[in-house]
Each structure stands twice: as structure tokens, then as C-alpha cells.
Amino acid sequence: MSIKGLGKSLTIFLASLLMFACASNTEDQGPTETVVDQNDTEVVEDTGPSQEELERQANEAARQVRTIYFDFDDSTVKAKFQDLLRAHAWYLSRNPGVQVTIEGHCDERGTPEYNLALGERRGNSVKDILISYGVNSSQIRTVSYGEEKPANPAHNEEAWEENRRAILDYEG
Amino acid sequence: MRAVISMIKNKVVFLFLAIVCGFANAEIDIVITEGMSFARPIAVVPFQYEGLAEQPPHDMSTIIAADLRRSGRFNPMALSDLPEQPTRYEDVNLDKWKDEGIEAVVVGKIEQKTPGQFTVTYQLIDVFKPKQTLIDGELVSTNDYVLLDKIGSTNDKNFRFYSHQVADNIYEALTGQKGAFATRVAYVTVDRSLPQPYQLYMADSDGYNPIRIYSSTEAIMSPTWSPDGKSLAYVSFENGRSEIYLQQIYTGQRKMIAAFPGINSAPEFSPDGSKLALTLSKDGNAELYVLDLDTRKYRRLTRTGVNVIDTEPSFSPDGQHLVFTSDRGGRPQIYRISIHGGRAERITFEGEYNASANYTPDGKSIILVNRTNGVYHIAKQDVESGIMQVLTDTMLDESPSLAPNGSMVIYATIHNGRQVLAAVSTDGRFKARLPAKRGEVKAPAWSPFLVK
């Protein structure tokens, strides 16, 4: 690796650290940092972004989404969240010191005690996929809130869709 | 401080003001929505008062009448319709009550000779029994028509709860079943506008005298009473995840019972109070455990393995079995297992989802949450025959808890976009809503009998 290349890697690493620090305080506020990072790269690199850089950018963009949603009474992860989870796994496996907490949540239908266990099963489904993508299990903690912490406290179909979720929380 | 009772099905609306003083206060009203057509007509005559103060601290006869009405078994006559207001059984004119179609009359008297101390005498009269009877061709006076003749005492502080005890005695004399008015209900309130949105309360069975047991910025779940009525076990998220706590109600003493990795959930006492059944996922998935409260030793009861949920354990009245919820067969259903473990037997087959089962005190039925065609209701299943009867017609019903005499189920439901408590008699005839003044209410737990 050339000096220039090392410098670039360092820049990316520092930038991603910065992003992580910001993102953990303000969920879904990532894009601002990504723009700064792109400008930085353009200055250092004359020949445009490398394949690795493009991959990094794509992963970082995908990783800004922290919530995945489930079907009613179901804890299997839908295929449409594959890219999202791969991006988180990419980040976690490159940053073995980083911990993520996966929160499992349910909608209010069904009994609260069964839902507490169902929320845990949702968290574990997400955890298993991250591990299958190469993340060390010691980096992942799961916690279930069952139906006790709804994103939307209303009692209707729309709220239930928002509440059946798992959240990847990097603060924990 | 207003009790509203509206009998929607009968298109009759009664409004009466319960005159209460000081700290006595109901955070939860009671709205009877169905079932008064089955209720027996009775009368509770206002108790005579002789004493130092202008009036006793609470209106005892009104409390008694409201209790009896709330049982769904009785329909006490409106005060304005009473044909007479006697205070001693000798003065009751049986014919006057017969003409009104009243079956039984309660009369009574409250005396206060010492400040704060009250003597209460009361009688229950069966209107259809004669005051005189023929013995050997002679007309002789008899007291057979007096079903209950009692004298007791209470004080300022216990006056209201004592009134419920009087109602319990009247209920038992009329039905043969022990009354459950002198009991309490624990429940969780959620008011997201408060700095501590989650609060654990207990109140008298009529919603009065709410006492806060615990409040938190994080969720509180699954309160359950110890059989001696002195403590509550519940789940608290105060450390960011589910943990089980045991709290003495009257001393406030509180200790952590279970905080293993994973979920710590669904505590339920054994009938003798020596053990706590609970759900832990420390070994991978949600499994049942029994904790011996003296030795602090855990015994694992189920071993279903990966990705199966076993939860919501509840003891049979003899303490020999537990019923619990398991999705080992795909969907949640109720299973039964010996307290010694071994093979669990599936006992529910109706509908796509059955959960949260509890035995009735006689052990003959289980009360549970049933989902059929996507609709959640409280249901009762006969243990012997397996026949299931849906009891409720409300929305998203959950967390059923039985009165200690098995007559009534209190549960959580959604009404007008809010989670509220509701009650249904175990025969499904009587239904009531218990709307709170503010916020949402859930996880009701009916206490055991508190008066021996």
C-alpha cells in the first residue's frame, strides 16, 4: 500500500469514526457527513473513487437506516433488508471494537408476555444474520421491549406496522 | 369522584353521586355495558346514623349497593323508588317490598360513640319468607326471613373497606359464594405526558383509593400478587431491559428477583406462595423456570430448544400443574405440565392463537386470550370437556385476571382509541368498562382475598 493509499485509508477510517460518533447521537442524520467525506476524497484522489471506496460509500449510505420491519406475528427478516444488514455487518466486522444493541419490538396485538419473547426472537433473527455475514457475536447484544415501547402509540393498523421492528442501536 | 353507571343495553342511565371525603378518590369509573337484565332485584335501604359527627365518613349503603350492582348478580332499587326506609328488620313491611318485586332488603344502622370509631349493625331480609309460621295449628313468630343479622365495628380509616366487607357478607348470604368486594386490583398506567410515564398502582375493587406502588421512566409489566396479598412481583425495565422485582406493598421493601441475560418475564406465585414460576431466556430461548423463594434455587421446567417460546406460566389451584403458552406447534397454544416437569400436553385447539391462561379457583375452567379470525377476546375453556366459550366482545382483549371467588374477570382492552380496563362475569353475561380519568391502563391483577 502506498503512502498516499495509507493516507486515504486513514482519512476514511477517521471519517467513519466521526460518522459513527455523530450517527449514534442523531439517528438517520448521516448524509451530511457523507458529503464532507466525498469532498475530502476528491481532493486526495485524482483518478476518482476506487472500487473499495464506492463499496464503502454504498455501505455507509445503507447503514444509515437502523430500523427493519417485520410481518405480523413473524420474526423472520424479509429479504428486502438484506443489503441493509450486510452494510451493518460490513461496518461491524471492520470495527471489532464497536458494539451494537439490537432492540426487538412488537405491535400490541397478542399478550404482552408472549410479545416480550417474540421481540427477543426478532432481535435474535437479526443477530444471526449479522453473525452469518461475519460479525463477531461478542459485538452484538439483544434486548426485547415486547410491545412496551411503541414507535407510534396509536391503536391502529398504521401504528402496528411501525411498531413491529428491530432497531440497531450503536449507543449501547 | 363520580361513579357513573349506565346500562346501555337496557337503555336506562342511572347517575348517582357517591359522596366521598378526604383522600377517597376513584381514578377509574365503572360503566356497566351489559347484563343487568339477569340481575336480581334487591334493595339497600340507607343506613341510619347516630353519632358525634354530622355524617359518617362515607355513605356505606351506597357503597354496598354499588358493589352488589357491579357483581352483575343484583340490581339494587333506586333510592327514590324505595317504598319505605326502615332501619331494623322488625320494622320491614314485607308486603310493601313484595309489591315492588324486590326479593331481598338490606337495613342497617351506624353508631359513633367514640370519635373515629363506629359500630355497624345490619340485617338482610328475604322478602318471600313469612314473619309467622304455623306450628301445630298455631301461628308463631319466626326469624327465618332474616338471612343475616350482624354487628361489627370499624374506624374512620377503614370505613370504606369495611363497607366492602359488609357487601361481601350480603353477597355470600344471597349466592352461597364468597364475595370479592373487599379486594384490590393492581394495574399499570401509562401517561406519556408525565416525567415518569409508567406507574404501578393498586386500588380497591371499585376503583377507589388508588395507591401508587412504583413509578418509572421505563416500562412496567405483569404485576402479580403473592397469595398473602402483601407483595407484588412485576417486571421492570428500569435498567434498560426486563427484570423481575418483588415489592412489599405496605413496607415498600423491594428486591430484584431475576436479572439474567435475555428476558426475565411473566412471574406467577404458587398457591402456597413458596415458589415463583417465571420465564427466562438465559439459555437461548424463552423457557419456564420455577424459583424456590426460600432457597433461591431455580429449576428449569421446559426444554423445548431453539426458537420456541414457552411463557406465561400459571399454577393450578392445587399447585401440582402449570398451564402455559407455547408456540412449539407453530402458533401459541396452551399446554399443561406437571410441576415436576416432563412431557407437556396441549389443551387448547380452538382458534389460531391461545395465550395467557389462568385456572379458575375451582380448577374446573381456564380463562385465556383467544384469537379467532384475527380477533382477540377473553374466553373460558372447560377443563374436562375442552369446550371453549368466548366471554367478551371488546377489542384486542388481553391480560385477564380472575377475582379470587372466580365470579369476574378483569382484563385490558382498547376502547375509543385508548387502552382501558374492562370486566366480564365468568358466565359472560355481565360486562363493564372501567375507564381511567387520564392516560392508558393495562396489566390488571386482581388480589387474593384480603380478609380471612
CA distance B415 to chain A (A): 10
Domain extents in chain A = 3-61, 67-169
Residues in chain A: 172
Specify the pLDDT at position B30: 81
CB spacing of A112 vs B325 below 8 angstroms: no
- Identify from B189, B199, B221 which residue to disrupt to test chain A contact, counting A C-beta atoms within 10 A and taking the largest count: B221
Among the partner residues B279, B307, B419, nearest to A121 by beta-carbon distance: B307
Q: Which of A109, A143, A154 faces B396 most closely, judged by CB atoms? A: A109
**Predicted pLDDT at B134:** 86
> With 70 as the cut, is the pLDDT of residue B203 above it?
yes
Q: How much is the pLDDT for B195?
A: 97
Average pLDDT over residues B29-43: 86
**Cα B418 from Cα A8, distance rounded (Å):** 55
CATH no. of B184-446: 2.120.10.30
Average pLDDT of the residues in B109-118: 94
Provide, as residue numbers in chain A, all residues whose Cβ is less than 8 Å from the Cβ of B242.
116, 144, 146
Nearest to B265 among A113, A124, A149 (CB): A113
Residue B8 pLDDT exceeds 70:
no
Q: How would residue B29 be classed by pLDDT, with cut points 50, 70 and 90? A: confident
- What distance in Å separates the CA atoms of residue A17 and residue B232, rounded to the nearest whole number? 46
Residues of B with CB under 8 A from a CB of A: 192, 219, 221-222, 235, 237, 240-242, 262-263, 265-266, 279, 281, 285-286, 307, 309, 311-312, 325, 327, 332, 353, 355-356, 369, 371, 376, 396, 398-399, 414, 417-419, 442-443
pLDDT of residue B338: 97
Is the minimum CB–CB distance between A48 and chain B shorter than 8 Å?
no
Q: What is the CA radius of gyration of chain A?
A: 18
Of residues A42 and B363, more confidently modeled? B363
**Helices first, then strands: H and E counts in chain B:** 3, 35
Q: Please indicate if any CB of chain B lies within 8 Å of the CB of A113.
A: yes
Asked if the A67-169 domain carries CATH number 3.30.465.10, the reply is: no
Mean pLDDT, rounded, for B418-445: 93
pLDDT at residue number B20: 29
Task: Give the pLDDT confidence of A54-69 residue by residue, as tens digits.
Answer: 888 888 888 889 999 9
Chain-centroid distance, C-alpha B230:
16
Indicate whether B3 pLDDT > 80: no
Three-state secondary-structure class, residue B269? strand
Q: By percentage, how much of chain B surpasses pLDDT 70?
A: 94
Residue-level pLDDT at A61: 83
Average pLDDT for residues B259-272, to the nearest whole number? 98
CA of residue B443 relative to chain centroid, distance: 13
Amino acid at B296: R
Confidence of residue B143 (pLDDT cuts 50, 70, 90): confident
pLDDT tens, residue by residue, A123-142: 999 999 999 999 999 999 99
Residues contacting residue B229 through CB under 8 Å, at least 6 positions apart = B184, B447, B448, B449, B450
Q: What is the pLDDT of residue A49?
A: 83
CA distance readout (Å), A142 to A145, A167, B219: 10, 10, 17
* Domain ranges for chain B: 39-175, 184-446
Per residue, the 3-state secondary structure of chain A, as one string, reads CCHHHHHHHHHHHHHHHHHHHHHHHCCCCCHHHHHHHHHHHHHHCCCCCCHHHHHHHHHHHHHCCCEEECCCCCCCCCHHHHHHHHHHHHHHHHCCCCCEEEEEECCCCCCHHHHHHHHHHHHHHHHHHHHHCCCCHHHEEEEEEECCCCCCCCCCHHHHHHHCEEEEECCC
| Banded model confidence at residue B52, pLDDT cuts 50, 70, 90 | confident
What pLDDT sits at residue A45?
A: 52
Cα B119 to Cα B108: distance, rounded to the nearest angstrom: 11
ipTM for the predicted complex comes to 0.91
Residue linked to cell 340507607: B46
Q: Which CATH architecture has domain B39-175?
A: 3-Layer(aba) Sandwich (3.40)
Contact B393, B374 (CB under 8 A): no
> What's the full length of chain B, in residues?
452
Binary contact (A113, B371; C-beta < 8 A): no
Please tell me the predicted confidence (pLDDT) of residue A46: 60
Of the candidates B167, B130, B127, B175, which has an alpha carbon nearest to the alpha carbon of residue B150?
A: B167
Let me know: does A33 contact A12? Beta carbons within 8 Å. no
A100 close to A137: Cβ distance less than 8 angstroms: no
Residue A110: name the closest of B371, B48, B414, B255 by CA. Answer: B371
User: Are B124 and B170 spatial neighbours (Cβ–Cβ below 8 Å)?
Assistant: yes
Residue B367 and residue B148: Cα distance in Å, rounded?
A: 33
Asked whether the predicted pLDDT for residue B51 surpasses 70, the reply is yes
Tell me, yes or no, if the pTM score tops 0.90: no
Q: For B300-340, what is each residue's pLDDT tens digit?
A: 999 987 889 999 999 999 999 999 999 999 999 999 999 99
* Res B209 pLDDT > 80: yes
**Residue spans of chain A under pLDDT 50:** 1-42, 172
